[in-house]
Structure 1
Amino acid sequence: MTCDIVIRNGHVVDPATGTDGVKTIGILGNQIVEGAEAGKASVSEVDAAGCYVFPGLVDHHAHLFYGASEFCVKPETCLPFGVTAMVDPGTAGSANFDSFYQNIIVGSIPRIRAYISVNPGGLYGREYHTHYDASLLSPGRMSYQNIKAIFEKYPEQLLGLKLMLSTANVGDQGIEILEATLRLADEIGCRVCVHTTDMSITAADVAGRLRPGDIYCHCFTCTDGRSILDEAGRVRPEVLDARRRGVIFDAANGTFHYDHEVAEAAIAQGFPPDVLGSDIVIYAANMGHKVRSLPFLMSKYRNVGMDLPSVVRMVTQTPARLMGMEGEIGTLAPGAFADVAIFKWKEAKAYFEDAKSTYRETDRLLVPQMTIADGKIVYCQVDFNNGL
């Protein structure tokens, strides 16, 4: 078979198909195809010797409402990171989701799905905390009706409701507004994604109320000593029970939402995150030691001791399923969209910083070499595949 692009000699890691070894990948149009081994490429032969070949990465937590929120990035910022699909975690609300859809989602190269904030205005700034209470989600309120209308208008784009449970947003009404949000989600038939940093209530309060498929966001945060760990440093029983029920735990790293000690203890106890979102924002992309990029964070979890296929699963197969796109993205199986990310492990002394400004050192990083989105090469490292 003649393909448009053939990727040869690379070590393919695709948890969705169980692939972990050298394999040839063929692309025709915007799809992965079979029979590439003996075929030729009409557009590009890619020699991935010494590299890892992953499905295009899925960033499950990225703030993308660029131009309407002071901290958002353009989706295309993340193409050089190997990211080809993204989930916005409620930057827009019912008052401005139309604008987000028309100005960002429609023209984006990375595929985007989104949560919608229960706050009508969404998240418009880093230092501006809109206060809201449970009455906002009462059936008689306009915000309640507007949220339902937006879900009816964008059923393919919207995944669920986003609730900021920070004390600055909800005061001491954390439980009341969480339960009100869950009631509305039941009526709509959607998930709830809960921001759990700086809460006045406990991890047990939240985990014990979430339903199968709901997202416990920033699972390795630690505020004033409060986290998913109990006083003895063990993962709380309510948190373990939530995972057994099917609650999803997103690392959603961010600048302020990751604690080395919490993450290391939880992972050592067999409690890794289900998904790894970057929580990327304009002041953390491509700089510093806390976020930088999704592959930088993948390197961190590999450094903690997770095996590579498990790390790759957190940014491919699992978020693809949560987006309702399993089999279409997050895999290199024949018939899937041709989204591919090629990386090298490179020797490099680097540091991973947490919210408390403590550091962990590494001697290697995953470095992006090429990104293919929807069958098109959209990024290539200057010294990779010379002669392309």
Structure 2
Amino acid sequence: GILDRQGQVYRSVWDAIDRGVLLDVGHGRGAFSWAVARAAMRQDIWPHTISSDLHQYNIQGPVFDLATTVSKLLHLGMPLLEAIRRVTATPAQVLGMAGRIGTLQPGAEADIALLELAEGDFALTDITGAVEQAGQLLIPRGVYRAGKPYTGPTTQYTDHNPPWYHGRFRYPPVQPPHFGHTHP
């Protein structure tokens, strides 16, 4: 984790950032809790990039998809344009691919996710099972790959709450001591 027992960001984290180390959310099953995220953000530690660490053990919760992970950062107060930059242009720059991906500039690869910013009451869950009600949710509505509509398997929601938000699925809390939690 990045916090000490008093909820303060470790000096080593600040030193790493000063040396150019970039922080990523990497939600996964063990790296995102509301409490840790809020404590870090109160101390002006925000992720430089946002990723989902999506895999078979978290696709049904608590991660679900990258759009839901971004929605959690919006809920915590990150402005929409900053959040979009942190899943597009900034990762492209980190990968040495600026101008080719993560942009809508002419000549870029034109990999595009169409997202709806839905307004409502959305339950968002962290890795501990804590649920918070968010007023906005990014919902994937379409994908373009290399400028062409992607027609493979997708997730299309039929309402503003994907099925897992209706209480039909309760994700069991994961309590690894070294990811997403303050130190014991």
SS in 1 for 2:150: strand
Give the corresponding residue for 2:101: 329
Q: What are the residue-to-residue correspondences of 1:1-388 with 2, within 5 Å?
A: 227-285=1-59, 287-288=60-61, 290-379=62-151
In structure 2, C-alpha distance between the alignment counterparts of 1:321 and 1:296, rounded to whole Å: 23
Normalised to the residue count of structure 2, the TM-score between the two structures is 0.77
Offset, 1:347: 2.8
Offset, 1:315: 0.6
In structure 2, C-alpha distance between the alignment counterparts of 1:316 and 1:251, rounded to whole Å: 14
Q: Note the alpha carbon deviations across 1:161-212, whole angstroms, 9 max, x for none.
A: xxxxxxxxxxxxxxxxxxxxxxxxxxxxxxxxxxxxxxxxxxxxxxxxxxxx
In structure 1, C-alpha distance between the alignment counterparts of 2:134 and 2:50, rounded to whole Å: 19
Offset, 1:268: 2.0
Larger Rg belongs to:
1
Offset, 1:283: 2.9
In structure 2, C-alpha distance between the alignment counterparts of 1:347 and 1:254, rounded to whole Å: 25
Q: Which amino acid is 2:145 matched to?
A: A
In structure 1, C-alpha distance between the alignment counterparts of 2:4 and 2:140, rounded to whole Å: 38
In structure 2, C-alpha distance between the alignment counterparts of 1:339 and 1:264, rounded to whole Å: 32
Cα distance, 1:374–1:332 mapped onto 2, change above 3 Å: same
In structure 2, C-alpha distance between the alignment counterparts of 1:251 and 1:354, rounded to whole Å: 12
SS in 2 for 1:249: coil
In structure 2, C-alpha distance between the alignment counterparts of 1:345 and 1:310, rounded to whole Å: 14
Offset, 1:360: 1.3
Offset, 1:372: 0.8
Give the corresponding residue for 2:175: none
In structure 1, C-alpha distance between the alignment counterparts of 2:22 and 2:76, rounded to whole Å: 20
In structure 2, C-alpha distance between the alignment counterparts of 1:283 and 1:355, rounded to whole Å: 12
- Once the two structures are aligned, what percentage of the paired residues are identical? 37
Q: Which amino acid is 1:302 matched to?
A: L
Cα distance, 1:361–1:232 mapped onto 2, change above 3 Å: same
Which runs of no fewer than 5 residues in structure 1 stay unpaired?
1-226, 384-388
In structure 1, C-alpha distance between the alignment counterparts of 2:64 and 2:128, rounded to whole Å: 17
Cα distance, 1:382–1:314 mapped onto 2, change above 3 Å: closer
8 Å contact kept, 2:75–2:135: no
Offset, 1:231: 3.0
In structure 2, C-alpha distance between the alignment counterparts of 1:256 and 1:232, rounded to whole Å: 20
Name whichever structure is richer in strand by fraction: 1
Task: Tell me which stretches of 4 or more aligned residues in structure 1 moved more than 6 Å.
Answer: none
In structure 2, C-alpha distance between the alignment counterparts of 1:367 and 1:348, rounded to whole Å: 12
In structure 1, C-alpha distance between the alignment counterparts of 2:132 and 2:147, rounded to whole Å: 37
Cα distance, 1:326–1:343 mapped onto 2, change above 3 Å: same
In structure 1, C-alpha distance between the alignment counterparts of 2:140 and 2:67, rounded to whole Å: 8
Q: Note the alpha carbon deviations across 1:192-236, whole angstroms, 9 max, x for none.
A: xxxxxxxxxxxxxxxxxxxxxxxxxxxxxxxxxxx2112332212
Q: Note the alpha carbon deviations across 1:16-58, whole angstroms, 9 max, x for none.
A: xxxxxxxxxxxxxxxxxxxxxxxxxxxxxxxxxxxxxxxxxxx
SS in 2 for 1:248: coil
Which runs of no fewer than 5 residues in structure 2 stay unpaired?
159-184
Offset, 1:254: 0.6
Offset, 1:382: 9.0
Give the corresponding residue for 1:184: none
The alignment of Structure 1 onto Structure 2 pairs a total of residues equal to 155
CA-atom RMSD, angstroms?
1.9
Report 1 or 2 for greater relative contact order, CA contacts < 8 Å, sequence distance ≥ 6: 2
Give the corresponding residue for 1:174: none
